[in-house]
Structure 1
Amino acid sequence: MAENELKQIISELDSLKANNVNQAPQLLSRAKLALLHLKALVPSEDTQPQHLALATSVLELGALNSIKLKDTDAFTRYYQQLQPFYSLSDNSQALGRQSNQSKVTGLYLLLLLSVGDYAGFHTVLEGLEQSSGKEHLEKDEFIQYPVRLEQALMEGSYDKVWGETKGERVPSEEYAVFSEVLINTIRSEIASCSERAYPSLPISNAKNLLFLDSEGAVVQFAQSRGWVAKDGRVYFPQQEEEMLAAEKNVMSSSGVVIENTLGYARKLETIV
């Protein structure tokens, strides 16, 4: 009974569309309860192969629907729960081509990139190379996508990153969610560098620099950063304040130098 109910829930989860993805948490709760009855929520050597496959499908669907709901904490929990299932060799044979292991793992790599955890990224990638082999990974589009992004980030080639996150290069709709997060992170880094490097920039230049679609988007972004947009330029208040402070320091230092120089001059006149 539990097995048939579980298959029905998996079918419902698999068919969820964007407009009803909010139903996923309730369906997943029912699925986990069914897995408990089957003693398959946590894998063991005694768990029947078909139950391992069903449990893996539930957890993978939980991970993928968590991404659609933009719940990265839930996604991370599902990813961690899946690891003991993936480590069972018998399970990989039972799953066959139905497993979403590559997709879920690639998404986790992309999550690590989006939060700047490069050490974690390489740890996971090295583990995959040991378990699956480098040649196999090089043919896996779900793994190669975050690998290409990481290489571009290390090179500082943000334009390549931008290109990878557009259109047909994105492997699936779930990847588009993290790609957006990654671009926002890069945009924030570029903005911080710009604030330190320039007192202002033309809005047209800022649009290209920040990978924004329109000058109106630049104005909105400027407002969110506390910048001032006027007369076709964006001004960085922090940079202006630092420049004014530096000028005051220079003037203060110059005043001391001038005063000391005048003092020396008076002493020289006295000696003469």
Structure 2
Amino acid sequence: MARPQLAAMYQELQRAFTARPCDLQTCGVLLAKLKIGLVETGLLVPHGNPHLEDLVIARDILEVGAFWSIRSKNIPSFDRYFSQLQTFYNDYSSVLPPSPREYPIRGLNLIRLLTQNRIADFHTTLESLPLPADSLTANPYISHPINLERWLMEGSYSKVWNAREEAPAEEYKFFVDSLMGTIRNEIASCEEAAYESLPLKDAATLLFFKSQSELLSYAQQRGWQVDLTAAKIIFAKKGEEKVEIPQEKLIAANLSYARELEQIV
């Protein structure tokens, strides 16, 4: 693909991406073609001394791809785009002008690690950011995942839930929702173990549901019994497993060990 053709398709991608609403289908088609073009022009993994303008276009394409992946709820695709962007963010940072999308994408990657419960990777990635340690919390795109991680460790789930409305970018809400799904399942497991039943209103509050219909749908997924007349949820109790103890075998084994010990003595 010739560079003028690549630049023209890049402009088309920008129009589709900034459209309201974003044209995700067109973006996906264009991104697939543009990545082939980046490979053919040696810009997907640049080396040597490529033109500055070409590097900026290549970085912008990959950044749009990262955001498109989140909007399309395609995490493996986001992982690939983020990995490909590292060359531009790290190796060419002294050459390229700063990108306004860099730290939103870095922040998204941090939250992705949280949703996958990769806490060690989260801290390693945080420490490797090209920012002074004392300025991390000053960056809204980085402070957001930092706060989420702290609240998760504290068990302050209500703060995690409220953080959804404080997200510095719309794409962050996708990962916060994913986190809340994990938290909700943990709370539900505790409720099943601690209670025989709960009023619908209390269960909805504990599970951060805004409407009864959401709660009823979730209760069906968990196999809970719902009594609408009494306005309560009845948790299905798992029967206690009976463990058969092979008494005769244990006695025989103990006698055998005792005889062997007598012979040793």
Q: TM-score, normalised by structure 2?
A: 0.83
CA drift at 1:93: 4.3
SS at 1:201 equivalent: strand
The answer to whether 1:153 aligns with 2:152 is: yes
Contact 2:44 2:84 (C-alpha < 8 Å) held by counterparts: no
Residue in 2 aligned with 1:27?
Answer: 30
The answer to whether 1:135 aligns with 2:138 is: no
SS at 1:229 equivalent: strand
The answer to whether 1:94 aligns with 2:96 is: yes
**CA-to-aligned-CA distance 1:173-213 (integer Å, 9 cap, x gap):** 11121121111111111111211221211111001000001
Residue in 2 aligned with 1:45?
Answer: 48
The answer to whether 1:67 aligns with 2:70 is: yes
What's the % identity of the aligned pairs?
37
**CA-to-aligned-CA distance 1:102-155 (integer Å, 9 cap, x gap):** 011111111111122111111111111xx3212332221111111111111111
The answer to whether 1:197 aligns with 2:198 is: no
Separation (CA, whole Å) in 2 of partners of 1:124 and 1:211: 30
Unaligned runs of 5+ in 1: 250-272
Residue in 1 aligned with 2:12?
Answer: 12
SS at 1:241 equivalent: coil
Separation (CA, whole Å) in 2 of partners of 1:174 and 1:54: 22
Residue in 2 aligned with 1:260?
Answer: none
Separation (CA, whole Å) in 1 of partners of 2:180 and 2:141: 18
**How many residue pairs end up in the alignment?**
238
SS at 2:23 equivalent: helix
Contact 1:50 1:94 (C-alpha < 8 Å) held by counterparts: no
Separation (CA, whole Å) in 1 of partners of 2:66 and 2:22: 18
SS at 1:45 equivalent: coil
CA drift at 1:46: 2.7
Separation (CA, whole Å) in 2 of partners of 1:7 and 1:91: 22
Separation (CA, whole Å) in 2 of partners of 1:51 and 1:112: 31
SS at 2:47 equivalent: coil
Residue in 1 aligned with 2:104?
Answer: 103
Separation (CA, whole Å) in 1 of partners of 2:126 and 2:25: 32
Residue in 1 aligned with 2:60?
Answer: 57
Is the alpha carbon distance of 1:138 and 1:19 closer, same or farther for their aligned partners in structure 2, counting shifts above 3 Å? closer
Residue in 2 aligned with 1:144?
Answer: 143
The answer to whether 1:182 aligns with 2:191 is: no
CA drift at 1:241: 3.2
Contact 1:57 1:99 (C-alpha < 8 Å) held by counterparts: no
Unaligned runs of 5+ in 2: 244-265
Q: Which has the higher helix share?
A: 1
5 Å matches for 1:113-132? 113-128=114-129, 131-132=130-131
Separation (CA, whole Å) in 2 of partners of 1:100 and 1:215: 38
Contact 2:67 2:171 (C-alpha < 8 Å) held by counterparts: yes
Moved over 6 A (4+): none
- Measured on the aligned residues, the alpha-carbon RMSD in Å equals 2.1
Amino acid at match of 2:137: E
